Structure 1
Amino acid sequence: MRIVIIDPSGFTPPYDHCLATALAHQGCRVVLATTRMLMGPWAQDTIYERWEHFYRISSRLTHTKIRTYLKGCEHPFDMGRLLRRLRHWKPDVIHFQWIPIPIVDRLFLREFRKMAPLILTVHDTEPFQGTPSSRLQLIGLLPAFRCFDHYIVHTQYSKEMLTRQLSLPEHYVSVIPHGVFAYYRELTSGLGAQKHALEWAKKRKILFFGTIKPYKGVDVLLKAFARLPKSVLKESVLQIVGYPKMPIEPLQSLARCLGIEDQVFWDLRYIGEAEVASYFYQADVVVLPYRRIDQSGVLAIAFAFEKPVIATRVGGFVETIKDGVYGLLVEPENAESLAQALLRVLDDDELRQRIAIAVKNLATNQLSWESIAKQTVHLYQEILKGRRS
């Protein structure tokens, strides 16, 4: 079976890589059509083809506004070139991960659909979590979504949201979970955290990781951390790690006002793959205090390191974490509840060990990429069977 996975802007490269690799292990011939980017060591010597097809000019620029504008100009030409290229390659299934410019993509999707079944993985039922890099990314979104033969989401919550938004029959949407990014364990070297490892060596580490945006609730986490008993605060450090896409000074000012400035470590930049592994390896607990979410790649990394996760009771977290089994769930916007969950995890060694064992079993079974690839291949086969009939 010949499968092309399309992620024009490279929004989810680790996911794309893991899915492409797992499908190739199932005997599929796989192409990943994406853009030029710096790839981590995990993407070396791949067993699938990789086409750096999109944004060959803008991907080399560093100025954000100019790059965004130029990408918009390049996109229709790149979609046209891909259409011609795939007519020659003759895929059995065309599997999009993202449609970055729906009003343009819609014009091409109809032609792609004549060639092979079109599948879309909807990672976020609220596109771009409400913060697109350009308004253009939202224009014509729903009509573009309706161009697909089938949809994949990661949780039942997302399925219910999508079927409601698009008025779809349920059998048009399949739930296939988000796999655990187990390859991060192979990248652990400790080098990425050396500059502050000694300073925090004996501290209990609470980790918030990922792009910092308003919906992720860092302000609530700061308030919760400040509510911990002084004896616990003295022995703990809150690590806020990731590139900010919002003003960061109000959050740092909040930390000062709460009197926890010396217990909060900020690493506000793009974090390389090895450093990501180091942060998660050293963490005692990972916190996801989001206000809304479908599913999270950060959760997939935390599970790879068998770390207890404290998350808010929103979106797909409820299904994946299962309160008290693979982590703890708290109500969103509730700093007191979050503080109590933090205290419980930090003080209870037996709880942490029990969660680690449960998460390891989950990661090697239901959330393994082998399991996910088998489900995906089965879906492809069913869609092809339906198309032929």
Structure 2
Amino acid sequence: MHYAYELCTGLANAGADVTLVTTDDYELSGYPHNFRVETRLHLWKVVDSRSVPIPSPGIMAKAWRRFWRTGRRVLRFARLLGQWVHLTNYLIAQKPDVVLLGRFYFPGVSLFFQKLQRHGLILADVCHEYEFRDPNLSRINAVIDQVMSLFEKTVYKVFSAVFIHGEINLEPFLTRLDIPRERVHIIQHGVSSLFFSQAQNTGIAERYGIEASDRVVLFFGNLRVSKGVPDLLRAFALIEESDKYQTKLVVAGYPTQSVDVFELRELAGDLGIEQRVIFDIRYIPNQAVSELMHLATVVVFPYLSATQSGPLMIAHAFGRPVIATSVGNFPEVVKDGCTGFLVPPASPPALAEAIRKILADPGLAKKMGDDAKAISERLYCWNTVAREMLTVFEKITSGPGVLAKTTSSAKQVRTALR
């Protein structure tokens, strides 16, 4: 939702008439808006800022969780189908010049896309992910994901423009998905300003038991198998304590169903680092992100695979050095040796060595953080991203044979985002 808010703000700043169509639990309703918000979709709450309870271990408990999640997914599918009917009828009635979508989650959505096209609407998409990265917990869900994978290879044909993050992701995207090259456009992932304007003292240091002299290694973001948190735990176990400093590892984020938090805690115990590792297993509120970032000496992204990372952009914006694996567009964003370090994926020793270098040299950590902040402010501004997208919108709404309601200026484009 942060991404949609910042993008809508940037598009409106560039002169577009923007409406965000979203769910009725829209979490940013109290923030300043220069665009309209239509909370027309009635779905389900995805995350909760309360601490997630530790799941019970054992075969029977795991089997029950898989059964329950599969049943819930079936019910949610039915609800989602109904909401797509509602959304499609709304868009046809409104007739925006461009409908910009994010990710879609079930094969039947192609029917709605085709209906929108028949009514003369132009569709575009921001593709955050083009492949499944995490294992599924049940056979039926795995089958659903396989069907989705096959579906996504052809559904992108309906889009007049697709935006992806980073030059490095272009060839894998084109190889995987059936879409003409000229319709694919590369944009950067902008840096969010929300976490600065909404910063509050929420007492995170006290909650974690962190002292001012502690050095903090931070993992921040949703917990997924593909993000390699076990590798970070193994790397942290290789880092020895010094007499002068205490070193803590904070793992903060909301777990997806593919992650067993009990197993992560058990691994920390097996490695003998449970006293130095703090798990904050919840959706971190916007107001607390600034405080969390300022606690960090270094922010680590031990991903096994990725396309891009919003949390990495947040770390740069807050002037924090980062250590990331050389996957996705991380080599484009992290300037190795300048704003942080790049290491191979699935290599705890290399990860540990990079962490040691930053912890041992406060001057290096500060310089890397300062450079990261300066680069993020210069290259990853949402207004710049929005202007690039509006240029594309102008082209696809004014091409020959296109049913468009705009004329010569991209600033007249009416855009509906979901």
TM-score by length of 2: 0.82
Q: Which amino acid aligns with 2:11?
A: L
Name the counterpart of 2:278.
265
Of 172, 188, 191 in structure 1, the residue corresponding to residue 199 of structure 2 is 188
Name the counterpart of 1:49.
36
Name the counterpart of 1:338.
351
Distance in 2 (CA, whole Å) between partners of 1:336 and 1:59 is 39
Distance in 1 (CA, whole Å) between partners of 2:395 and 2:360 is 49
**8 Å contact kept, 2:133–2:226:** no
Distance in 2 (CA, whole Å) between partners of 1:284 and 1:365 is 23
Q: Which amino acid aligns with 1:23?
A: L
- Give 3-state SS (helix, strand or coil) of 2:103's partner: coil
Name the counterpart of 1:216.
227
Name the counterpart of 1:8.
none
Q: Does 1:17 align with 2:17?
A: no
The structure where helix makes up a greater share of residues is: 1
- Give 3-state SS (helix, strand or coil) of 2:108's partner: helix
Q: Does 1:298 align with 2:311?
A: yes
Q: Report the alpha carbon displacement of residue 128 of structure 1 after superposing the two structures with TM.
A: 6.3
- Give 3-state SS (helix, strand or coil) of 1:174's partner: strand
Distance in 2 (CA, whole Å) between partners of 1:81 and 1:222 is 45
Distance in 2 (CA, whole Å) between partners of 1:194 and 1:342 is 21
Alignment of 1:173-322 (within 5 A): 173-196=184-207, 199-231=210-242, 235-245=246-256, 246-322=259-335
Alignment of 1:37-76 (within 5 A): 37-40=25-28, 44-55=31-42, 58=44, 68-76=73-81
Q: Report the alpha carbon displacement of residue 242 of structure 1 after superposing the two structures with TM.
A: 1.4
Please say which of residues 338-347 and 45-54 is displaced more in the overlay: 45-54
Q: Report the alpha carbon displacement of residue 335 of structure 1 after superposing the two structures with TM.
A: 1.0
- Change over 3 Å in CA distance of 1:74–1:376 after alignment to 2: same
Name the counterpart of 1:32.
20
Distance in 1 (CA, whole Å) between partners of 2:335 and 2:244 is 28
- Change over 3 Å in CA distance of 1:192–1:99 after alignment to 2: farther
Distance in 2 (CA, whole Å) between partners of 1:310 and 1:233 is 23
Q: Which amino acid aligns with 1:330?
A: V
- Give 3-state SS (helix, strand or coil) of 1:386's partner: coil
- Change over 3 Å in CA distance of 1:32–1:327 after alignment to 2: same
State percent identity of aligned pairs. 29
- Give 3-state SS (helix, strand or coil) of 1:223's partner: helix
Residue by residue over 1:169-211, the C-alpha shift from the partner in whole angstroms, topping out at 9 and shown as x without a partner, is: 3222111010011221222223140533654332011101122
Please say which of residues 89-98 and 66-75 is displaced more in the overlay: 66-75
**8 Å contact kept, 1:185–1:304:** no
- Change over 3 Å in CA distance of 1:87–1:365 after alignment to 2: same
Number of matched residues? 374
C-alpha RMSD of the superposition: 2.5
Q: Which amino acid aligns with 2:38?
A: W
Distance in 2 (CA, whole Å) between partners of 1:83 and 1:40 is 24
Name the counterpart of 1:375.
388
Q: Which amino acid aligns with 2:36?
A: E
- Gaps spanning 5+ residues in structure 1: where? 1-12
Name the counterpart of 2:102.
97
**8 Å contact kept, 1:106–1:143:** no
Alignment of 1:150-161 (within 5 A): 150-161=161-172
Q: Report the alpha carbon displacement of residue 338 of structure 1 after superposing the two structures with TM.
A: 0.7
Name the counterpart of 1:141.
152
Name the counterpart of 2:374.
361
Distance in 2 (CA, whole Å) between partners of 1:344 and 1:261 is 23
Q: Report the alpha carbon displacement of residue 321 of structure 1 after superposing the two structures with TM.
A: 0.9
Distance in 1 (CA, whole Å) between partners of 2:101 and 2:400 is 18
- Gaps spanning 5+ residues in structure 2: where? 49-67, 403-418
Name the counterpart of 1:125.
130
- Change over 3 Å in CA distance of 1:60–1:67 after alignment to 2: farther
Distance in 2 (CA, whole Å) between partners of 1:232 and 1:260 is 17
